[in-house]
Structure 1
Amino acid sequence: MRSVEADLLIIGGGLGGCAAALSACEQNLDVYLAEPTEWIGGQVTSQGVPPDEHEWMEDFGRTARYQKYREQVREMYRRMFGIETAELFNPGNGIVSNLCHDPRVTLQVLKEMLLPYELSGKLTVATETQLIRAERQGRTVETVTFTAKNGEEITIRAGYIIDASEEGELLPLAGMDYVVGAEAKVDTGEPHAREEKDEKDIQAFTYVLGLEYREGESRVIEKPAMYDFWKKFRPDFWPDDYLSFHAPHPVTGEKRKYTLLREEDGFPLWEYRRSFDKTNFPGVSGSGDVTLMNWPMNDYFLGNVYEVSEEEKQKHLYQSKQLSLSLLYWLQTEAPRHDGGTGYPELKLRTDMFDTADGLAKYPYIREARRIIPEYRVVEQDVSPQYHEGVGQWYEDVVGIGSYSIDLHPRMSGHGYLDIPALPFHIPLGALLPRDADNMMAGGKNVGVTHLTNGCFRLHPVEWNIGEAAGELAAFCTAHQVMPKQVRENRSLLEKFQTTLTQSGVELEWPERFYSNGERRGTHG
């Protein structure tokens, strides 16, 4: 066993974890970042989900570091392909955002952004490092132990800890209080909450894969072992077979037609998260368009991968992979073609994209994690247009902003989509701080939100903002020899911390025109 001392331990190298490491290292902390997969980057790399962002992203509503990351993604494409383009280059011309791109590009960009701190010895990035236990004394998480890829056990002792893992892994190991699934309406008062608490009311997860359109070729995969099961599968809340070009509209619930390509009426799945549009790369020959399959038809909701036995977890991981491969096989062999006939055999599974034997992403896209019991919990009323005008609830302890609808995918409890409006919102510091631990902060989807408000907090720029604020807070607390909760409770410290955030490029307010009567409710402009 090896022991390591650090100022800050970050559990999970997703977007929140990477942002936390960047902000903390920039403030001169010694940081240890432990990531269970081979890749840092989380949902945008190992999970294969291109940035999903609000409509103002190019101008405001993000941190300066997040925008730098986005600019470096574009610059890498320009550098690699010798492209001279307008500023807002979208590699895939995908529908979901202005920056649909290959996961491997973000992987390289994040590595470059973190590399100076690794070279200077301020940062250790330990991939393929699994969290196995934690020791807690009273309100302090004393040590956290991991198994490294070589089998060695490493125990980290750090002054501050950020849990930025995909499932909130630290919470049960440290004996902390947390929430799983949906809260009861009597608990949150949320208009759209369930009448009864339901720990199985957790959003679907998805195994993403990459596809290339190879016109005139046949690239049909071997028939998946569970294809016959998924071919017959039809959920009660689904308007057709699951493997079909029909699904419920996320907002209205009505039967919605999808198409693979744009040659016919319907939502074009291919363009949704297209990561490589060959028309953007005229100097490249012999390549087809590439897209990432994260579609309604491969959301998996038959069971969860945390708060279950290892056997149960592995069963659902396997079945989810089989679902995605079965959807591909159906597309290749049985899907109705836009030009007549059946099947698109020209769809090629890009096994190189994630460097995995089966071609699937290294990790499933996890939409909903365990959540801390926080100092302040963000509820539906905080972000709803039924309760506010222009912008959601303002908080004195604001540490960032974000915007997305309350978007819930089908749940493991049997409930379908829920997609309702949410106003541009603020991120309160209290949502990052657990009530029952002093030196730990949430750095991702495990923040103090509800089952509902997770739906607008789980996207890329918000996760980054949460992680970045947590990293800045760890540095601020180290410099002032205080605990995070003290910063929130002491107005002078809080204002100093917020000044630090704004100086680092963290936006704490929306533009004036967003607010009712044109007046901001805070002083953090």
Structure 2
Amino acid sequence: MKHSNISVGKSLLSLTLSLISLTSLTPPSLSAPGRSPDQTVDCEILVVGGGLAGAGTAYEGLLAGKTVCLTEITDWVGGQISSQGTSALDERSTQRQRLFFPRGYLELRERIKRKYKELNPGDCWVSESCFFPGDGNEILYRMLRDAAKRGKGNLKWFPSTVIKEIERNSSGNIITGAVAIQHQPAKNAPPLNTFTLSETIEDSYKYENSSRFDKTIIRFVPKNPSQGNSPNWYVVEATETGEIIGLTDVPYRLGIDPRSHLEPSASSTKSDPYCTQGFTYTFTMEATKEPQTNKMPSFYPEYAPYYSYELKRLADFGLVFSYRRIWSPKDGEATQFGGINFTAPAVGDISMQNWTWGNDYRPGTSQDNLIYSRDQLQRTGQLSPSGWMGGLRTESLQKAEEKSMGYFYWLVAGTTDSQLGDGVKKPYPNYRYLSGLDSPMGTAHGLSKYPYMREGRRIIGRPSFGYEEGFTIWEIDMSRRDYREDYYKKTLSPDMYRSLFIALAGRETISAIADKLPPEKIKQRSRSTIYPDSVGIGHYAIDFHPCMTKSPAETPGNTEREGERQGAGQAYPFQIPLRAMIPQKIDNMLVAGKSIATSHVAAAAYRVHSFEWSSGVAAGTTAAYALEKGIMPYQLVDELPKSEPQLQELRQRLEKTGNPTAFPDTSIFNESWDAWR
């Protein structure tokens, strides 16, 4: 692989947008009214978002013989493992040791191993597998093409494509069409991926051609005529921020949920849609034999007060470099720091950087939040006809891009540390920033094509038995936390504290209520909530990258939002209930990925690679099953907790095809989960 040696200073020439004050809400430039579609494309399953959730949906839909349209804002499929640059598989040790994953995810791991003759060509220490993002795209695209052949399905792939409008029937409960914009370079314009996302995102959502892009307007419609009242296609929301949720305006949450007995670690007694987890533009850097001349970016002083190794046990350059190293052609010297074993950087090693106190951007106020709330969408005109512009604050994207490039300069030349003080950070000049269209990120500027998103809009599921306000997976449904800690007794009201332990009593709930047991007498269950409608699995720690207190996020001396890390910690292996994937109001839409019905704390675990794939598997299989049976997904769960025969048939189909819906030995009687780490 060749890598162009453009310096950070030169690569920043493309960042031509001037800084815009974040003290007010800046509406995006709205698109001109739509024009007639250039083409009409039919599908049985329309998947919006080509990340791992979207890919998992397409994979199972194709194996079921369906015609699948897959759209993606970038030109790479794979999301986390490709366009977002986080090509280091986040997995828990027990699940990995047992290889207890969906069949498509196992195939992905095997293909990575086949490509490199090993699973971890980067010899990283954060994961069992770190690799090139571009290879993630190529491997996954071949997987989808092969799935189409095996299942006799039809894949229609639409890269560089965004959804602009959603069409519905007169009742509003059925999506009847979707209008999309696909962009390609205009005549004499630079190639795609020359400019940063902040420079192009608003252009991408405009119907009219521009000096950068020529646009093709595509209308997606159902492949077959409708049969009675049953939908003849399904739309799967699998975007990184919950775009289609915002566009269709179905009920959803964003940011912090109020503290309750179900979400006892919440950092606030009120909801806060502006404090979501930080997002990250990743980049790659290469170890060199000779020192490099790395020019300080003009904006570096603005962000320098933020950068840090974070903790003394992590304050080692070699440890940080090898953390997500994606390529290591030589065996470096075995070393250790802070109790962590790794091999020291060697010439030719390439590392991807994703560091909380480095290139994370963590806005948390209404002046700088990235994902617009419903109120902000309305005020910026994005809920009006033809008004949708992606639902993101462009200025925050730009700030994140600058901050990421500045972080590289801090790594190689910085001598300050915001958390550990002076004298900790030393310069390391023998490294270069990799940029150019042939670089690992595939961009002229060297940043990932899209930021790694940890949290987006999250639907509120439909009201059901025990969930009168709408189905939600809460913190207590999967956290391992010991809620007898003094914090909870002091923070929660007595009634809320008792309700917490009643909810955690498991099969002893009835006796705890009947006997009026005090909290200290109630045994806390040691497993996750078990769902009768589980259609997938996941396992990861509740991992927080909290928003910052002040705006802008890089303000000197800024701190993380107080209390946001209270919910962080280990989680039990958990399930993906179908009810968490079914939005209110629309009957032929399913939600996969990070936008399923989770709380803010639970979402911190429901976001990693294998979970995204598993949720996509559930969406693709459910859509195919619903089409075959002529039913709607909500009809599979609307009688719970009564028996739902067709729901059980769907779950059996998932299990028989190698897609687990529960971890081994899952039952209300099994409380032995200490071994699952």
Give the TM-score of the pair, scaled to structure 2: 0.67
**How far apart, CA to CA, are the structure 2 residues paired with 1:399 and 1:341?**
47
Contact 1:378–1:450 (CA<8 Å) still a contact in 2? yes
Aligned partner of 2:137 among 107, 127, 142: 107
Aligned partner of 2:598 among 449, 452, 456: 449
Matched, 1:73 2:112: yes
Contact 1:244–1:335 (CA<8 Å) still a contact in 2? no
**How far apart, CA to CA, are the structure 2 residues paired with 1:110 and 1:256?**
36
Q: 1:408-439, CA deviations, whole angstroms, 9 ceiling, x for partnerless residues?
A: 21215551652222111111111111122111
**How far apart, CA to CA, are the structure 1 residues paired with 2:252 and 2:113?**
39
Within 5 Å, which residues of 2 pair with 1:147-162?
A: 147-149=181-183, 150-158=214-222, 159-162=233-236
RMSD: 2.6
The structure in which a higher percent of residues are strand is 1
CA change 1:73–1:484 in 2 (3 A) is same
SS across alignment from 1:512:
coil
SS across alignment from 2:604:
helix
Within 5 Å, which residues of 2 pair with 1:334-353?
A: 334-335=414-415, 342-351=426-435, 352-353=439-440
Gaps of 5+ in 2: 1-36, 184-213, 223-232, 333-345, 381-388, 418-422, 463-470, 483-503, 505-523, 550-559
Within 5 Å, which residues of 2 pair with 1:317-336?
A: 317-335=397-415
**How far apart, CA to CA, are the structure 2 residues paired with 1:347 and 1:330?**
12
Gaps of 5+ in 1: 79-84, 234-241, 248-254, 262-267, 521-525
SS across alignment from 1:453:
helix
2:66 corresponding residue in structure 1: 29
Q: 1:349-407, CA deviations, whole angstroms, 9 ceiling, x for partnerless residues?
A: 12201121211100111110111111321001111234364431101011111111111
2:324 corresponding residue in structure 1: 273
**How far apart, CA to CA, are the structure 2 residues paired with 1:59 and 1:37?**
34
2:253 corresponding residue in structure 1: 179
Within 5 Å, which residues of 2 pair with 1:246-257?
A: 246-247=310-311, 257=314
Q: 1:61-110, CA deviations, whole angstroms, 9 ceiling, x for partnerless residues?
A: 311111111111110112xxxxxx6xxx3211212211111112211110
CA change 1:484–1:218 in 2 (3 A) is same
What is the Cα deviation at residue 287 of structure 1?
Answer: 5.5
Q: Which has the higher mean CA deviation after the structures are superposed, 503-512 or 105-114?
A: 503-512
**How far apart, CA to CA, are the structure 1 residues paired with 2:107 and 2:426?**
45
Within 5 Å, which residues of 2 pair with 1:385-396?
A: 385=480, 386=482, 387=504, 389-396=525-532
**How far apart, CA to CA, are the structure 1 residues paired with 2:630 and 2:658?**
24
2:202 corresponding residue in structure 1: none
Q: Which has the higher mean CA deviation after the structures are superposed, 382-391 or 429-438?
A: 382-391
**How far apart, CA to CA, are the structure 1 residues paired with 2:274 and 2:658?**
39
State the structure with more CA Rg: 2
Read off the aligned partner of 1:6 and give its amino acid letter.
C
1:292 corresponding residue in structure 2: 352
**How far apart, CA to CA, are the structure 1 residues paired with 2:137 and 2:85?**
11
**How far apart, CA to CA, are the structure 2 residues paired with 1:58 and 1:514?**
22
Matched, 1:409 2:545: yes
Q: 1:18-57, CA deviations, whole angstroms, 9 ceiling, x for partnerless residues?
A: 0100000100111100101011100111111121111121
Aligned partner of 2:665 among 501, 512, 516: 512
2:478 corresponding residue in structure 1: 383
SS across alignment from 2:168:
strand
**How far apart, CA to CA, are the structure 2 residues paired with 1:473 and 1:459?**
21
1:493 corresponding residue in structure 2: 646
Q: Which has the higher mean CA deviation after the structures are superposed, 395-404 or 8-17?
A: 395-404
Matched, 1:226 2:226: no
**How far apart, CA to CA, are the structure 1 residues paired with 2:299 and 2:399?**
8
Q: 1:315-358, CA deviations, whole angstroms, 9 ceiling, x for partnerless residues?
A: 11111111111111122223489x99941121111220112121
What is the Cα deviation at residue 509 of structure 1?
Answer: 2.2
**How far apart, CA to CA, are the structure 2 residues paired with 1:367 and 1:382?**
20
2:280 corresponding residue in structure 1: 206
CA change 1:316–1:106 in 2 (3 A) is same
2:126 corresponding residue in structure 1: 96
SS across alignment from 2:600:
coil
What is the Cα deviation at residue 478 of structure 1?
Answer: 0.7
Give the TM-score of the pair, scaled to structure 1: 0.86
**How far apart, CA to CA, are the structure 2 residues paired with 1:260 and 1:168?**
36
**How far apart, CA to CA, are the structure 2 residues paired with 1:394 and 1:106?**
33
**How far apart, CA to CA, are the structure 2 residues paired with 1:434 and 1:372?**
6
**How far apart, CA to CA, are the structure 2 residues paired with 1:174 and 1:320?**
28
